[in-house]
Amino acid sequence: EIQNYKMFMCFTRKFKANEKQPPFDVVEAFAMYTDKGTQMNVAQLRRFLVEFQAEDPGVVTETHAARLVEDIVQRRRHLSHGKSTKKGLSLTIDDFFYFLFNDDLNGPLNTQVHHDMTAPMQ
């Protein structure tokens, strides 16, 4: 994909953008939960969230997983300027990678730093 950048307010430079490739462990997890397929459906995403990320099965329902897939696809479609990656309700490896590293969708458990101020200094 070619990216355009305006430089010095008078001319435009074009650069070829290198897209980030998913790390091996992400590819491995995707393959494991999709049975080595190319698409992750709602049930497979739910299974990943419950088994791999230890989410509460009572909270992560099929409906919750379906909404999550729709949200991921919607955001990715917006980022790719209208190119739809949606094939039914499923995620590609790139959609899955986007989900895993997006703080809004899959953020850390606690974003605040915690220091125990009652502990002795070492």
pLDDT of amino acid 14: 62
E-strand stretches of the chain: 2-7, 11-16, 40-41, 90-91
At residue 106, does pLDDT exceed 90? Answer: no
CATH 2.60.40 fits 23-99, yes or no: no
Q: What is the pLDDT of residues 63-92, one digit of tens each?
A: 999 999 999 999 988 765 444 444 468 999
pTM: 0.69
For the chain, the straight-line distance linking the first and the last C-alpha, in angstroms and rounded, comes to 52
Domain ranges of the chain: 23-99
Of the pLDDT bands very low, low, confident and very high (cuts 50, 70, 90), residue 34 is very high
DSSP helix, strand, coil percent of the chain (3-state; round to 5): 40, 15, 45
